[in-house]
């Protein structure tokens, strides 16, 4: 399944039950996945439920109170496919219960299944169709552990077959909490420490550490594996690559604004994207309006730099449809999400609006916002913090298939930037379209272009081992 998820792992040296910590951490990461959630502690099957945590937590409090462990892992899952089953939810058990080398695994990212199947075949392991990328990776690791390899050796041996992204936590039967991040660092993963509870915490984003009152120690490095057990914490490298490929989409759209990723606060990066937009696309307008919510800091930044007043011309009605605030990742609810945006007519009527958004994926939401929500404006220009998305993502964010991407659909084969912009602007119904180029993305984040993955906008997949051959959503599901 194609998914972008959130993971949490916790290990208490003083024997505190970490289940509550893990659930609180997962709630802070709920924006990364609302389809299912799960927790695993030693000695019991993973506990999994569908939907968001707040929907089931009260009903499940009795079952959850039976979970007890001084170490554990958790996961929130997102997938756009209809197959929203508990079987596909994480954590996933690998190996028979109580098997010496068995473990539970929770994964954020996407790996090419074909390459993993090749590895398993070479090892003489039959790999039935229908297994997810995480299950296949788990089988490879399990086999290596059974062959007597250490954790770092198990990852080293499997690494040439790990094409894509993974930030993961593992709970082993031998009483270890393992955290590992792929060699390019596509998806975030960080390490924290809770002083009062003497606990290490690993989480997809630092916002999960903040809600727990834990201190961010550092990001887990690309290619690093961390092992925590009663002896303490041990860090090793299973791979070291000069070229990293952090996903800029985490900064423009996906991550919580309060999080720090690679030492950069997401909110400040978004504001900087707005400053840079104002420098590269200086427009004449009456007001700057964000598409809520992720574009708000960038709109503030644009307003700050340009001196054009910031207005909340569009607001989300959060209580009408709870949990459906992500538009491009929830196809069936897309129209609903936009209908959930309310216009403050008094702010936009008759005004020349500079509308700031994070990206155009299918273009449907932007078109509806411009055509319906801002129809009383005198003129609308659209500025995006992320350049046009023309190519699929194979590293953990579930874009639609390439044919569904607006920029690809209506600008395929066109090289001239002005013509691309004109076409997209005409389709959306705005008088001007502008966006940050890759150099601005790099400046906004404060990281060299060579350390960013930009495949979905440039079509350059050199940060992957090879470009997977998926063409349709069905093929991607595996
Ligand atoms: S392809 Fe795009 S969305 Fe996917 S990891 Fe790279 S930059 Fe992020």
d(CA 176, CA 385): 41
Regarding the beta carbon of 178 and ligand 1, being less than 6 Å apart is answered: no
* Catalytic hit among 5, 190, 207, 393: 5
Is there a catalytic annotation at residue 463? Answer: no
So what's the pLDDT on residue 230? 96
Burial of 392 (0-12, 13-18, 19+ CB in 10 A): buried
Do 287 and 225 lie in a common domain?
no
Alpha carbon nearest to ligand 1 atom 4, residue: 393
Which CATH number belongs to the domain containing residue 396 in this structure?
Answer: 3.40.50.2020
Do 376 and 227 lie in a common domain?
no
pLDDT at 189 over 70: yes
Q: How far is the CA of 9 from the centre of ligand 1 (A)?
A: 25
Q: How far is the CA of 5 from the centre of ligand 1 (A)?
A: 14
Regarding the beta carbon of 185 and ligand 1, being less than 6 Å apart is answered: no
Regarding the beta carbon of 329 and ligand 1, being less than 6 Å apart is answered: no
Q: Ligand 1, from 5, 244, 249, 361: best to mutate by most atoms within 8 Å of Cβ? A: 249
3-state secondary structure of 420: helix
Alpha carbon separation from 252 to 267, 310, 360 (Å, rounded)? 9, 19, 12
How many domains is the chain built from? Answer: 2
Do 125 and 30 lie in a common domain?
yes
For residue range 457-467, list pLDDT tens digits in order. Answer: 999 999 999 88
3-state secondary structure 312-331: CCEEECCCCCCCCCCCCCCH
For residue range 124-135, list pLDDT tens digits in order. Answer: 988 667 789 999
In a domain, 468, yes or no: no
Ligand 1 atom closest to Cα of residue 463: 6
d(CA 121, CA 128): 11
Do 332 and 446 lie in a common domain?
yes
Alpha carbon nearest to ligand 1 atom 8, residue: 247
Q: How far is the CA of 246 from the centre of ligand 1 (A)?
A: 8
Query: What's the mean pLDDT in 257-263?
Result: 98
Which CATH number belongs to the domain containing residue 132 in this structure?
Answer: 3.60.20.10
Regarding the beta carbon of 406 and ligand 1, being less than 6 Å apart is answered: no
d(CA 51, CA 76): 9
Which run of H or of E encompasses 148?
Answer: none
In a domain, 165, yes or no: yes
Q: Order across the sheet with 352-357: list the strands.
A: 287-290, 352-357, 379-384, 432-435
Query: What's the mean pLDDT in 26-40?
Result: 95
For residue range 49-64, list pLDDT tens digits in order. Answer: 999 999 888 898 999 9
Mean pLDDT of all residues in the chain?
A: 91
In a domain, 57, yes or no: yes
Do 291 and 390 lie in a common domain?
yes
Ligand 1 atom closest to Cα of residue 455: 1
Regarding the beta carbon of 353 and ligand 1, being less than 6 Å apart is answered: no
Who wins on pLDDT, 301 or 58? 301
pLDDT at 332 over 90: no
Q: How far is the CA of 201 from the centre of ligand 1 (A)?
A: 26
For residue range 172-188, list pLDDT tens digits in order. Answer: 999 999 999 999 999 99
CA-based nearest residue to 35, from 331, 330, 365? 330
130: left (phi over 0), alpha (psi -120 to 50) or beta: left
Regarding the beta carbon of 310 and ligand 1, being less than 6 Å apart is answered: no
Global pTM?
A: 0.93
């Amino acid at each position: 399944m194609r998914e972008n998820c959130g993971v949490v792992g916790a290990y208490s040296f003083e024997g505190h039950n970490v289940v509550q910590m893990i659930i609180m951490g997962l709630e802070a990461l709920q924006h990364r996945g609302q389809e299912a959630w799960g927790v695993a502690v030693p000695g019991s099957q993973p506990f999994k439920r569908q939907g968001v945590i707040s929907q089931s937590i009260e009903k499940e409090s009795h079952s959850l109170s039976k979970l007890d462990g001084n170490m554990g892992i958790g996961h929130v899952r997102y997938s756009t496919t209809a197959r929203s089953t508990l079987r596909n939810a994480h954590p996933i058990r690998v190996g028979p219960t109580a098997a010496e080398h068995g473990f539970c695994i929770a994964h954020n990212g996407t790996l090419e299944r074909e390459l993993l199947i090749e590895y398993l075949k070479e090892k003489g392991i039959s790999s039935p169709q229908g297994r997810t990328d995480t299950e296949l990776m788990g089988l490879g690791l399990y086999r290596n552990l059974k062959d007597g390899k250490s954790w770092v050796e198990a990852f080293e041996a499997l690494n040439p077959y790990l094409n894509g992204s993974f930030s993961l936590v593992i709970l082993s039967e031998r009483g270890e909490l393992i955290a590992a991040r792929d060699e390019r660092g596509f998806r975030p993963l960080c390490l924290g420490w809770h002083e009062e509870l003497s606990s290490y915490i690993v989480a997809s984003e630092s916002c999960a550490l903040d809600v727990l009152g834990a201190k961010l120690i550092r990001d887990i490095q690309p290619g690093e594996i961390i092992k925590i057990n009663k002896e303490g914490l041990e860090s090793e490298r299973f791979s070291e690559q000069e070229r990293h490929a952090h996903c800029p989409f985490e900064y423009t759209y996906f991550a919580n604004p309060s999080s720090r990723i690679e030492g950069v606060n997401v909110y400040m990066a978004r504001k900087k994207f707005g400053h840079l937009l104002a420098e590269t696309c200086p427009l004449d307008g009456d007001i700057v309006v964000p598409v809520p919510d992720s574009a708000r800091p960038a709109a503030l930044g644009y307003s700050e730099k340009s001196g054009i007043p910031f207005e909340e011309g569009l607001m989300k009605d959060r209580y009408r449809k709870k949990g459906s605030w992500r538009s491009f990742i929830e196809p069936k609810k897309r129209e609903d999400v936009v209908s959930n945006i309310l216009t403050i007519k008094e702010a936009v009527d008759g005004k020349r609006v500079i509308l700031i958004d994070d990206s155009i994926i299918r273009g449907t939401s932007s078109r509806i916002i411009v055509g319906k929500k801002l129809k009383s404006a005198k003129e609308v220009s659209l500025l995006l913090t992320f350049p046009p998305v023309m190519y699929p993502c194979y590293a953990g964010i579930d874009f639609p298939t390439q044919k569904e991407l607006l920029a690809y659909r209506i600008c395929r084969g066109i090289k001239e930037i002005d013509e691309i912009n004109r076409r997209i602007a005409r389709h959306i119904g705005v008088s001007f379209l502008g966006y940050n180029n890759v150099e601005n993305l790099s400046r906004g984040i404060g990281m060299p272009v060579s350390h960013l993955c930009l495949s979905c906008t440039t079509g350059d997949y050199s940060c992957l081992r090879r470009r997977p051959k998926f063409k349709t959503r069905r093929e991607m599901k595996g």
